[in-house]
Chains A and B, each alone.
Chain A
């Protein structure tokens, strides 16, 4: 078979392929499923053994998160949040606890709440809140995702918060390499007393301190209790200040490119196959090409919306 003949055999309905493009035959479709399953397994295995070569590019740092968070607040006319060492220590302890006990939740499997970590760090809050994120690649990506989620956004733009703490750390969660970002908000009697008196903000903050109001999850307004026995350091631990990973091959970019090229070829051949069959009035037993085209197109659109990161 000539080169041109091979192309026709692969991509166009022809008598050599029983009037169905060869790459759309059932055995070919089954081969794609198998190949991608092997590819996925291979990527995971290689990533575990050679994370510097095949990994997840990450650049998330506390100072960038703080700047982005405050930029969002400033754009809404709210005051800047001050980085608080105790809240950062609480966030670091929370991140550590999530890796140690292997959970992705606001409350630990043993019943510890975010407020336990804040109290444990010695921060006596009047109002407090927590945002969680994992597996984002940039600081701006984390803050943008939080802003796109109504409950997380509520925390970021809450006027009664005066201080903030962050922890950014890499570890293994549920068997997967995970970059966790813990953001803890708070306002204490001390911070209210020393907060800059900006007219629209302070009355709300004081009101929240005097009469707690119901707020959305994951925010809670409760009176501060005495610090727990495990008091963390008031300074933010340096190991939790940021994560920078620069692998030779970035897995999300690689997989996305491969998936888009593969889906594009498949969609293109489906259109070509349907056009030739319709033009030549070929009658055959096969699935509906237009339906396959619509289905795969919807999947490609969906993949365009995928972000590896998750919020809680």
Chain B
């Protein structure tokens, strides 16, 4: 009983684990689309995020003195999760993550293999193929995928350490389009499930957590808010609120009213 009470009143005890790494924050944020690195760093702080996604790109050899991400967000304090954004084949994604590992020794990575530029929808055949190769090479892939419970199981079999279905297309801000499939993925998974992509505002993040997801990953919802730092804080609160509501267990749904005040003793 004591333990239950601690869980319900103290959010900081409610940590989660992926591939042996333990985290308190269930909000992972991206580092793209911000006005500048300072704003990005402030948003990460306001979000309370312990993991940030980063992309791997060619250095600018004509202007090597430009500020770099690592000068603002310290990879010794915040876990860098290298992604494969922009990769449309398994080979490109694998090559990108091999380089990412060399750039900093990361095994925990975010795999995404995209199917087309218009929707940025995942190509699951290529994604599963890349996941198998990466897992064999010792990587711990957290995998962006369709909200398909069967594909999610196949990814787990392929060595995914986390399943990260889209709530809606990347950067769309449309919110979670199919709560049924997200919930089916959560129920079927034996690894953490995080909604990745599609969140537009705080209530969307709360919905993801209320469905039982272990976390939420977002970038544009924060970066393109009018006040990104305030939105980062809102997302932190929403993820925590949604998680607590999930643990608390919501009431049942009724078709008609049920009074909260007693009927007995009415004058």
A and B associate in one complex = no
